[in-house]
């Protein structure tokens, strides 16, 4: 992933799109998409809801604000994002955020670069197909795609959490 492009998504925004799994939180944190505070808040929220936590997630939930440097060491104990599902979810989260910004076309190009020019993003990048679709058409296509990804994210979490 490119180090020049800075993208971040708040925990609230991420969780409003689709439920996050431990592997998603780890994926997001390790790539700079989630801050230390968000990781702790995610784990603390699960603890407060009475969910069963891994030892690492429980340790993260109990960190104090002056112990956030410990997130780096503890995050490795969360589920590993070995498959492409966490990446897929984060691409959708970043695209959803990008389309709401004042210059969505540029923001979407940044997401495309951040995720190493993932081919699945090609239909939404304006300069790839100049003249073939207006920005409004690309954004409408993206909105339809994101509705599908949001449904997938909810079904994926439900299947894994039950």
Which of 48, 142, 137 has its CA nearest to residue 91?
Answer: 142
Same domain, 96 and 153: yes
Point out the domain boundary residue: 44, 77, 110: 77
So what's the pLDDT on residue 160?
Answer: 62
Q: Examine the domain organization and report whether 73 and 89 are in the same domain.
A: no
Count, residues in the chain: 162
Please tell me the distance from the alpha carbon of residue 25 to that of residue 34, in angstroms, as a whole number: 7
Residue 43 has pLDDT above 90, yes or no: yes
pLDDT at residue 96, as a whole number: 96
Query: Do 154 and 114 share a domain, yes or no?
Result: yes
Q: Which residues have CB under 8 Å from 21's CB, separation 6+? A: 79, 86, 156, 157, 160, 161
Determine the pLDDT at residue 3: 42
Write down the mean pLDDT value for the chain: 88
Q: CA 56, CA 29: separation in Å to the nearest integer?
A: 14
Q: Residues 30, 47: one domain? A: yes
User: Per the domain annotation, does 6 fall within a domain?
Assistant: no
pLDDT band of 65, cuts 50, 70, 90: confident
> Mean pLDDT throughout 37-45?
96
pLDDT over threshold 80, residue 83: no
Over residues 89-116, the pLDDT tens digits come to 999 999 999 999 999 999 999 999 999 9
Closest CA to 97 of 149, 154, 57: 149
Top pLDDT among 140 and 133 is at 140
Residue 126 in any domain: the answer is yes
Phi, psi of 87 (to 5 degrees): -60, -45
Domain span holding position 44: 11-77
Please identify, among 61, 77, 93, the residue that sits at the C-terminal boundary of a domain. Answer: 77
């Amino acid at each position: 992933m490119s180090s020049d492009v800075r993208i971040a998504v708040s925990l609230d925004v991420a969780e409003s799109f689709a439920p996050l799994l431990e592997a998603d939180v780890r994926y997001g944190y390790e790539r700079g998409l989630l801050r230390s505070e968000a990781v702790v808040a995610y784990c603390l929220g699960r603890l407060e809801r009475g969910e069963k936590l891994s030892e690492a997630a429980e340790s993260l939930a109990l960190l104090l604000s002056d112990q956030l440097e410990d997130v780096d060491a503890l995050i490795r104990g969360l589920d590993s994002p070995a498959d492409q599902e966490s990446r897929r979810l984060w691409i959708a989260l970043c695209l959803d955020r990008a389309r709401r910004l004042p210059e969505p076309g540029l923001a979407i190009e940044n997401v495309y670069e951040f995720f190493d020019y993932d081919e699945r993003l090609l239909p939404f990048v304006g300069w790839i197909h100049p003249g073939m679709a207006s920005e409004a058409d690309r954004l409408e296509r993206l909105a339809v795609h994101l509705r599908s990804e949001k449904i997938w994210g909810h079904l994926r979490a439900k299947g894994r959490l039950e």
